[in-house]
Amino acid sequence: MARTDTSAVAPAPDAGESGSEGRRASRWSDRTGRWRRGLVIAALALLTAAVMLLHSKLPNSVGNLGSLIQTFLPWFGLAVPVLLVCALIRRSLSAVAAITVTVMVWVNLFGGALLDKTGEGGALMVVSHNVDAHNQDPRGTARSLIDSETDILALQEIPEGQEELYDSELNDSYPFHSVQGTVGLWSRFPMGDSEEIDIGMGWPRAMRSTVETPQGVVAVYVAHLPSVRVEFRSGFTAGQRDRAASTLAEAISAEEHERIILLGDLNGTMNDRALAPLTSQMRSTQGATGRGFGFSFPAQFPMTRIDQILVRGVEPVSSWSLPATGSDHLPVAARIDP
């Protein structure tokens, strides 16, 4: 009698499933393919890196494009996670390599901002705040600034007719003050003669005074440079601001006192080449002693730092932003050793 083979027979693999797994394995194992895929993603990553690395070379002749990009330059880092997800989906080694270059460029430019450079001490505290002409709670804003216990307080965008309001709130804590147009300076220490600095606006938006601190006399400048706009036809309209920055820089360059502090809304970041006349002769307290980027505008979701404290002849120790007030800007503060 014939014997029957009863051994189990393995079922044939499903052709569709086997083919799908094979293709996935092939895509990962095909080293040449992994380098060839995702070339568009790699190109975008390298373009992002090039823009960050060569931002100072970007032309301003067309709509002030260079200054516009420099204003928001740190945010170019957001391209990294988006491109990385695309690279992983495409399983592209070339894209991952290009993204690594982008990360290295960003870290080289902005990695220092992630470090805490705050120091201890600082004999003098200064605060600058654009109080916003449309502030619905100016008294509350003034009281919150008093709570900061600063020694010197600079305000910008003081609406016409509200000088006395701010002074009535601040006078007990800051008996010495001067208001020139829409900018003002309040101090715990005696102030010398104050004067307007004409920056070409047609009304006072910058001033100079001296403050007799216990450590010696300091020249203090307060400024609110012209606003900038992004318009479809004309691009980044910053020409008036740029000219005002140069005029202010000339006044500071001619300052007879060695120790100088500039407090103000400069409507520009320290990356913006248009502020080079100022940044070439003064230090940013945020860049030297801050933690993070110190974004100050808009207050609800800060995206850039246009409110600045710059110094010369004094040593910055720490820098930070204060809590929001009724303004659309955050106050910025610093401690320095005069």
CB 218 within 8 A of CB 314: yes
The identity of residue 143, as a single letter, is R
CB 152 within 8 A of CB 142: no
Q: How far apart are CA 51 and CA 218, in angstroms?
A: 40
CATH topology for the 124-337 domain: Deoxyribonuclease I; Chain A (3.60.10)
Q: What percent of the chain has pLDDT over 90?
A: 76
Two structure tokens written together for 27 = 């895509």
For 51-73, what is the mean pLDDT? 89
Give 162-205 pLDDT, tens digit per residue.
999 999 999 999 999 999 999 999 999 999 999 999 999 888 99
End-to-end CA distance of the chain: 112
Binned at pLDDT 50, 70 and 90, residue 21 comes out as low
* Tokens 């060839």 belong to residue: 36
Domain ranges of the chain: 31-114, 124-337
Burial of 35 (0-12, 13-18, 19+ CB in 10 A): middle
DSSP string, 195-231: EE---SSSS--EEEEEEEETTEEEEEEEEEPPP-EEE
DSSP 8-state code for residue 189 = S
Instruction: Give the rounded distance of the alpha carbon of 190 from its chain centre.
Output: 33
Q: How far apart are CA 86 and CA 325, in angstroms?
A: 41
CB 152 within 8 A of CB 186: yes
For residue 331, give the nearest of 245, 241, 263, 283 by alpha carbon: 263
Residue 264 has pLDDT above 90, yes or no: yes
Two structure tokens written together for 273 = 């080449």
Three-state DSSP class for residue 287: helix
Give 63-83 pLDDT, tens digit per residue.
788 898 999 999 999 999 999
7 C-beta neighbours (distance < 10 Å), count: 4
Number of helical H runs and strand E runs in the chain: 11, 14
Give 112-149 pLDDT, tens digit per residue.
988 889 998 899 999 999 999 999 999 999 999 999 99
